[in-house]
Amino acid sequence: MKTKIIKINPENPEKDKIHFAADLIKKGEIVAFPTETVYGLGADAFNEGAIRKIYRAKNRPSDNPPIVHISKKSDIKILAKDIPKIALTLINKFWPGPLTLILKKGNNIPKITTSGLKTIAVRMPKNKIALELIRQSGTPIAAPSANISKRPSGTSSQDVFNDFNSKIPLVIDGGNAEIGLESTVIDLTSKPINLLRPGKITLEQLKKIIPNITVHKVAKGEKLDNNKKAKSPGMKYQHYTPKAKVILIEGKKNKIKKLIYKLSKEYKKEGKKVGIMLLKKENKIKIARELFQKLRDFDKNSTEIILVSGIEQSGLGLAIMNRLRKAASKIIILKSN
């Protein structure tokens, strides 16, 4: 299959170009499209065959369901039932935007769309191309991040094309993703409400509305106990892994730099190609936007070891550290003194 790339204006999407993409969705094909978080690999949420194609293209385990995207708030009722009041408060504050809600799933959702779970993940994105595509398709669009399973999420049409060339009919090029990290995911069916994946909508923002919200240990970037059931199926799987070995160094700031330079020298002596990422907490927004791109760039120039410094987990830092910890094959924590 030849994969087309069509450029669409993210500020004012050309209706006729979206029409072509929506036709593919209606026919049960999958289309890669931009959202404000990362690119998505979309299909009609009510078409089982189409959803199966997503899993196949991504090489994604079938027990890990995608997020379902809608173009207007009230469409949540097509997908979910027994929607709690708090959901409406959150929707009014954060939709359209990078917040995904886990709710009790409605009755007519195909099993494959939620991997057989009784719950469903729903989000209304802000990106105008995404919204127009959903609208013209006339159906909610199930879309996981557009990347081969375990690889960093795609944040540009080129990254998506590199992963899916010849596997899907169309990639919409809407420029680089604005946020760069996937949406915040919260489970409204658990008591207390649980943050499953941190993102641009921060824990601090959520606490103002849900003071007793808890943070799942995987959301903090910790490993899941092997014998404990995953709250979010995606938690069981390794993520964001570039080909290089990522070594994350956390703790005392000045010590981190020293260790990174020391390790870098040692690896270089062994003949290894080393990449370094020194992150500054002042640049969180930029770091989030460029993180997955950077990891992929290291792959492109065959970097073998990536040494990266950790940052504080406040605000967007929680989401950044969550992705880094999942990408890391080794974490070194430097204690003060």
100 counts as binding Mg ion under rule CB under 5 A: no
Instruction: Name the segment binding ligand TXA (CB under 6 A); options: 30-38, 218-226, 266-274, 291-299.
Output: 30-38
Tell me how many residues contact Mg ion (CB under 5 A): 1
- Under the criterion CB under 5 A, does residue 145 sit at the interface with Mg ion? yes
The reply to whether 174 sits near ligand TXA by the rule CB under 6 A is no
Minimum CB distance to ligand TXA smaller for 184 or for 309 = 184
Pick the closer one to Mg ion by CB: 237 or 267: 237
Instruction: Kindly identify the residues of this chain, within the stretch 230-289, that bind Mg ion according to CB under 5 A.
Output: none
332 binds, among ligand TXA, Mg ion, none (CB under 5 to 8 A by kind): none
Angle at CA of residue 152, ends 146 and 153, nearest 5°: 30
Question: What residue number has its CB nearest to ligand TXA?
Answer: 234
Size of the site for ligand TXA (CB under 6 A): 27
Question: Residue 136 touches which of ligand TXA, Mg ion, none (CB < 5 to 8 A by kind)?
Answer: none
Which option in Mg ion, ligand TXA, none does residue 40 bind, with CB closer than 5 to 8 A by kind? ligand TXA
Q: Does 10 contact ligand TXA by CB under 6 A? A: no
Choose one: 39-47, 143-151, 212-220, 243-251; the region binding Mg ion (CB under 5 A): 143-151
- 119-123 and 40-44 beta bridge pairing: unpaired
Work out the burial of residue 3: count CB atoms within 10 Å of its CB; fewer than 13 is exposed, 13-18 middle, 19 or more buried.
Answer: middle
Residue closer to Mg ion, measured from CB, 136 or 145: 145
Residue 232 binds ligand TXA, judged by CB under 6 A: yes
| Amino acid in the structure at residue 293 | Q
Interacting positions 34-53 with ligand TXA (CB under 6 A): 35, 37-38, 40
Among 5, 6, 117, 276, binds ligand TXA (CB under 6 A): 117
Q: Which stretch binds ligand TXA (CB under 6 A): 82-90, 162-170, 202-210, 231-239?
A: 231-239
Binding string to ligand TXA for residues 46 to 85, with x set by CB under 6 A, is what? ------------------xxxx------------------
Q: What is the rounded CA–CA span in Å between residue 84 and residue 93?
A: 15
Q: Where are the alpha helices (DSSP H) in the chain?
A: 15-26, 48-58, 76-79, 85-94, 128-137, 157-164, 203-207, 253-269, 284-300, 317-327
With beta carbons less than 8 A apart as the criterion, state whether 121 and 65 touch: yes
Upper half-sphere CA count for residue 280 (Cβ side, 13 Å): 3
CA distance 151 to 287: 18
Cα–Cα distances in angstroms (integers) from residue 29 to residues 137, 148, 324, in the given order: 11, 17, 33
Q: What is the DSSP letter of 37?
A: S
Which single residue is written with the structure tokens 């969705």? 25
CA atoms within 13 A on the CB side of 218: 22
How would you list the strands of the sheet with 245-251, edge to edge?
274-277, 305-309, 245-251, 330-334
User: Should residue 144 be labelled a site residue for ligand TXA when binding is judged by CB under 6 A?
Assistant: yes
Q: Which does 67 bind (CB under 5 to 8 A by kind): ligand TXA, Mg ion, none?
A: ligand TXA
**CA torsion angle for 66, 235, 323, 297 (degrees, to 10)?**
-60
- Strand, coil or helix: what is 191? coil
Among 185, 244, 277, 291, binds ligand TXA (CB under 6 A): 185
The residues of the shown chain that bind Mg ion, judged by CB under 5 A, are 145
The residues of the shown chain that bind ligand TXA, judged by CB under 6 A, are 35, 37-38, 40, 64-67, 100, 102, 114, 117, 119-121, 123, 125, 143-145, 182-183, 185, 196, 232-234
